[in-house]
Structure 1
Amino acid sequence: MIKIKAPEAYINEENILGQSGKYVSEFGNHALIIGGKTALESVGEDFFKSFRDEKIKYEVEEFHGYCSFENIDKYSDLSTKLGVDIIVGIGGGKVLDLVKAVGEKTDLPVITVPTIAATCAAWSALSVIYNEIGEHTDYILLEKSPKLVLADTNIISKAPARYLNAGIGDTIVKWYEAVPHLSENSDITLKIGLQTAKLALNILENYANELQVESRESYIKNQYKDVIDSIIILAGLVGSINGGKHRAAIGHAVHNGLTYISDTKGTLHGEKVIFGLIVQFILEGKSEREIIDLIDLLNKLDLPVTLAQLGIKDNVDDKILTIANSVNFNSDELDNLNFQVNKDLIRKAIIRADELGRDSLSLQAIV
């Protein structure tokens, strides 16, 4: 069976949030709005006024923390207690994953309002689960994507460039994680996902190269929508086309291991994932030229290419071992990979990735 999960509508326009109430009213008239302090401030008073104009009652909850099973239970209970009929999430991946899981548990429609484009969480039918101190523990494959995504490009473009770069990193990884699984016997879902991921990869690599010849502000005016859509729509689709088979995702597995190192708490999802891609390239046995080309691309985007840039600066060997030991795949997930993966090889690949990353930074300093 093939499932392709997608929102009923995705609206990406400047200042669309001033019309939010009109779109949200199609799904209910009493909303629980959950978002971080900065995200709630960024959407502005026009967002809330549009709810009032459409006679939508709303309750606002400021969220701090992670998408954990405890928080899913907490906000599910709250939504039942309040008697709401819509869940609205405002912000980045943690809160958007939370509201999707709450919607699934309570069987309520979910509207996502991304204020940054750091992941595909606004679209995807997946919630990544952490414990209360930010260590990755699990994920939930959801039955459906959000009903509606409202992506105000004006707000997203004002976010620090670091978030967009992390989103680019997370999206680039999608192609490279999937392509090693391709074989003559691959099902159509993998092939669709790969073509979608390749389109996103082409758009984002072009963006990274264009940054060298024109300012980010100039690029925003010309092709910024394509970049946002690649991160939210295309990457979201890659993760939401499911034929029921789980596949090893090396970059994301390294990310998960990095969450167990407290030094990395200040880094973003895409920043950890993209370092994991360097590790994957080494495991695959790619040429040093290919690996250096990847690292050069990441340097253009100010993405981390060393453990120190991820915050790991002492007891490095012990922490590398912790990361490597946390990576677990079953045999089914490793099917069709044309390279070997085990904990010791991952440990060695992390060490080599860090060496090559440090070399690239040294060369930059000389130039």
Structure 2
Amino acid sequence: MEFEKLVRGEPGQYVASQGALKELPARLSLFQRPVIVTGQVAYAAFVKHYGKEADWSVLFYDRTASHEDMDRLADRARQLGADVIVGIGGGKVMDTSKGVADRLNVELVLVPTLVATCACSTPLLVAYYPDHSFKSIDYCQRSGFMTVVDYDLLIDAPKEYLISGISDTLAKWYELEAIHRGKKRQELPAMVQLALATAQVSQDILLHDTEAVLDAADRKQVTPAFERMVDTVYAVAANVGCQTSDYVSGAHALHNGLTVLHETHEIAHGLKVAYGILVQLCLTGDEDEVRKLLPFYQKNGYIYRWDQLGVTEDRLTAMQKVAEKATVPTESYVNIRADITANEVVAAMLRLEEVVEAAHG
């Protein structure tokens, strides 16, 4: 079996509580020379809740999550004698840290500072070119040793990243369902059945809890719903991808296509994925589901139409660029149907505009 097709594990330990950062020295006591990989903003958030500067060496990434930066940081961490990499930050820091640990063949501890993706719990990483356009998905040799989740730190993070994390997680169900639609669930491999069931659980929690969670975020109050949502974005969503390699399809392919447009680089990953969900649903003929989701999108701040992306280029020209990137043979639209074309994706984007316009009318 190909390496990337293997069932993969989540972190060896998932530590989640209010004030969990206070336990970090004890959690790292097994190691001699931890080295932190982080970003400037993430590290400031860590220091605020940890209560002081870290006692370990700190390296700052260049915000690209590129192979070039992973190589640079791995060389520096090797010089420092690192026996564990401690990634502190959002998704790109998590993925950069995985790349560094994989290059050094050492253990990995991840401390997320944003509820934006499941990156802190998955044994794969998304790599970009130095210009921030999507490059590849890389599969790590080992899963993380530990993920440390501090709800107090996370409730203090910018709300827009939480919104992004919710939509990125919502995609798990829609992408996985599209891949296996038309197949008898009882005849699917056991791990795929488990992934589908897990994705359904995540969708139920998201649609039920989002309003209460965003209210808690506004009040900066850790509630049971907030904790449940964090664990869903991090651990439940990650479990879907760990059980089956074929779980990503149209929504993430469209996200990757959008990275060719520089205006989208500052839009959170999950918000681009949210738009990709609706495009995928239009592509697969599920317009009733689009109409069902639109009130949820509009109420909670998700992207559901082209002009929300802020792209200045001619719409059809830009859409064609996105669609061509999203439908290259290595992209995940092929998990839905092998022969999906760029023109079909453009048509789906245009059809979404019509559905949204009709719903507003």
Q: Same fold (TM over 0.5)?
A: yes
- The verdict on how the C-alpha distance between 1:239 and 1:135 changes in structure 2, with shifts beyond 3 A counting, is same
Which residue in the other structure is 2:111 paired with?
113
| SS of the residue 1:89 aligns to | strand
Which residue in the other structure is 2:23 paired with?
19
- The verdict on how the C-alpha distance between 1:334 and 1:92 changes in structure 2, with shifts beyond 3 A counting, is closer
**Structure 1 unaligned spans of 5+:** 53-57
The Cα offsets for residues 191-214 of structure 1, whole Å up to 9 and x where unpaired, read as: 111111111111110013546998
- Asked if structure 2 preserves the Cα contact closer than 8 Å seen for 1:6 and 1:144, the reply is no
Which residue in the other structure is 1:203 paired with?
205
- Asked if structure 2 preserves the Cα contact closer than 8 Å seen for 1:200 and 1:234, the reply is yes
Q: State how far apart, in whole Å, the 2-side matches of 1:45 and 1:25 are.
A: 22
Which residue in the other structure is 2:34 paired with?
31
Which residue in the other structure is 1:238 paired with?
240
Counterpart amino acid of residue 210 in structure 2: A
- The verdict on how the C-alpha distance between 1:87 and 1:338 changes in structure 2, with shifts beyond 3 A counting, is closer
TM-score (norm 1): 0.88
Query: How many residue pairs align between the two structures?
Result: 353
Structure 1: 4+ residue segments shifted above 6 A: 211-215, 331-336
Q: State how far apart, in whole Å, the 2-side matches of 1:247 and 1:310 are.
A: 26
Counterpart amino acid of residue 33 in structure 2: H
TM-score (norm 2): 0.90
Q: State how far apart, in whole Å, the 2-side matches of 1:129 and 1:215 are.
A: 30
- The verdict on how the C-alpha distance between 1:37 and 1:355 changes in structure 2, with shifts beyond 3 A counting, is farther
Q: State how far apart, in whole Å, the 1-side matches of 2:119 and 2:216 are.
A: 29
Q: State how far apart, in whole Å, the 2-side matches of 1:86 and 1:247 are.
A: 30
Q: State how far apart, in whole Å, the 2-side matches of 1:93 and 1:278 are.
A: 23
Which residue in the other structure is 1:257 paired with?
257
1:290 and 2:294 aligned = no
The Cα offsets for residues 234-253 of structure 1, whole Å up to 9 and x where unpaired, read as: 111111224xx546610000
- Asked if structure 1 preserves the Cα contact closer than 8 Å seen for 2:253 and 2:333, the reply is no
- The verdict on how the C-alpha distance between 1:75 and 1:336 changes in structure 2, with shifts beyond 3 A counting, is closer
- The verdict on how the C-alpha distance between 1:357 and 1:313 changes in structure 2, with shifts beyond 3 A counting, is farther
**Structure 2 unaligned spans of 5+:** none
- Asked if structure 2 preserves the Cα contact closer than 8 Å seen for 1:114 and 1:122, the reply is yes
- The percentage of counterpart residues that share the same residue type is 25
- Asked if structure 1 preserves the Cα contact closer than 8 Å seen for 2:250 and 2:332, the reply is no
Q: State how far apart, in whole Å, the 2-side matches of 1:215 and 1:122 are.
A: 20
- Asked if structure 1 preserves the Cα contact closer than 8 Å seen for 2:212 and 2:225, the reply is no
- Asked if structure 2 preserves the Cα contact closer than 8 Å seen for 1:252 and 1:276, the reply is yes
Q: State how far apart, in whole Å, the 2-side matches of 1:85 and 1:136 are.
A: 30
| SS of the residue 1:171 aligns to | helix
The Cα offsets for residues 140-171 of structure 1, whole Å up to 9 and x where unpaired, read as: 01232211101100010111211111000000
Distance apart, 1:188 and its partner CA: 2.0
The Cα offsets for residues 311-344 of structure 1, whole Å up to 9 and x where unpaired, read as: 2244111100001111236599777847973211
Q: State how far apart, in whole Å, the 1-side matches of 2:88 and 2:97 are.
A: 9
Q: State how far apart, in whole Å, the 1-side matches of 2:257 and 2:203 are.
A: 25
| SS of the residue 1:346 aligns to | helix
Which residue in the other structure is 2:193 paired with?
191
- The verdict on how the C-alpha distance between 1:91 and 1:238 changes in structure 2, with shifts beyond 3 A counting, is same
| SS of the residue 1:122 aligns to | helix
| SS of the residue 1:200 aligns to | helix
In the TM superposition, what are the counterparts of 1:1-367 in structure 2 within 5 Å?
A: 3-26=7-30, 28-44=31-47, 47=50, 52=55, 58-182=56-180, 183-184=183-184, 185-210=187-212, 216-217=218-219, 220-242=222-244, 246=246, 249-287=249-287, 289-328=288-327, 330=329, 337=336, 341-357=340-356, 362=360
Distance apart, 1:95 and its partner CA: 0.6
| SS of the residue 2:223 aligns to | helix
Distance apart, 1:219 and its partner CA: 7.4
- The verdict on how the C-alpha distance between 1:338 and 1:39 changes in structure 2, with shifts beyond 3 A counting, is closer
Counterpart amino acid of residue 274 in structure 2: I
Q: State how far apart, in whole Å, the 1-side matches of 2:252 and 2:47 are.
A: 34
Q: CA RMSD in A?
A: 2.6
| SS of the residue 1:65 aligns to | coil
The Cα offsets for residues 91-125 of structure 1, whole Å up to 9 and x where unpaired, read as: 10001001011111110111100011100000011
Q: State how far apart, in whole Å, the 2-side matches of 1:336 and 1:320 are.
A: 21
Distance apart, 1:223 and its partner CA: 1.3
- The verdict on how the C-alpha distance between 1:248 and 1:166 changes in structure 2, with shifts beyond 3 A counting, is closer
